[in-house]
Amino acid sequence: MRDEIDLTQRLATDLGRVQWPAGEEIRKIARRRNRRAAVAASLSVLLLLSGVWVVATRPFQQQQTADTFASAPDATITPGDTEWIPPEALLTPEDVGPGLVATRVSVKQNQPIGAWAFTLAGCPAFAKVPTYQGVYQYRRDQTLEFPPKIPGKPETGLAVLHQSVMRLPGGAARDLVREAVEVTEACPKYSSIGMLSALTGDPEMEKQQVKVETTHVWVELDKGFAGDESVLFEHRITGASPAVVLGTSAIVLVRVGDLVATVEQVNGESTETTRRLAKRAAAWLCTAATPPC
């Protein structure tokens, strides 16, 4: 069993870098955004609280620039190797919508999977679900988002979609699909508590922390519509009252050969849009899968 993820530590890591602009500056930005962008922004932030692959809760987040995250040093897998996953195997900004850019790009290899979209560490039953104990051979992660609203502050970018693609040895790719289904069946609903850490916007003030409690609901919506295997989930987050919906995202898991991709759409689009993107993602995976499509 992989080590359980400390939710508080992950929240601090993921949200500790957020620097909130001054109040008047926020209001000016909000007035320029349309309703759809505002909804997407809410989901982008709230999903950071989910303790899932996060979103921006994703383990691949490190100190970012406007375009990329640092890749793993001393790479041993090269484009000539069968384990290599080319950038072309991932969705492009044009696949998703106009005006988007790829950010938070990360490349890693020969490491334990660690936290991914279905590491539901906040669920007590998660520890009882058998999980893959091996390593991935190669992994690429990215976020597709609208560029930052405030120059020099990449955290003000508006996330639309998070994607991860992993190449796994043997039958491990099938194991991950099974694991995702079993985890969500074991954890259809659970609550988690963590600390939300953010700067106030005043560089002279220290970070402020607020305890946050959320309830998570996972529902399997569809399967078998893309690639060799595919499963579409809805992840709904509520506050203390179930009537207060803090955010909803659609997460699809797609396997093609030895490649597994997770695509998480956090901008409030319909699940039909996510299903369409899953089919597009499967087509790109075909260019790199073993065996080839």
Residue 227 gets the label, from left (phi > 0), alpha (psi -120 to 50) or beta, of left
Written as tens digits, the pLDDT of the chain (293 aa) is 444 334 333 433 343 333 444 444 444 444 444 433 333 333 333 333 333 333 333 322 233 333 444 444 455 888 889 999 999 999 999 999 999 999 999 999 999 998 899 999 999 999 999 999 999 999 999 999 999 999 888 888 999 999 999 999 999 999 999 999 999 999 999 998 866 555 445 544 445 677 778 999 999 999 999 999 999 999 999 987 777 888 899 999 999 999 999 999 998 888 899 999 999 999 999 999 999 88
Nearest Cα residue to 104 out of 152, 71, 136: 71
E strands, the chain, in order: 101-112, 135-146, 158-167, 189-198, 208-223, 229-238, 245-256, 259-265
**Would you list the domain boundaries of the chain?**
7-285
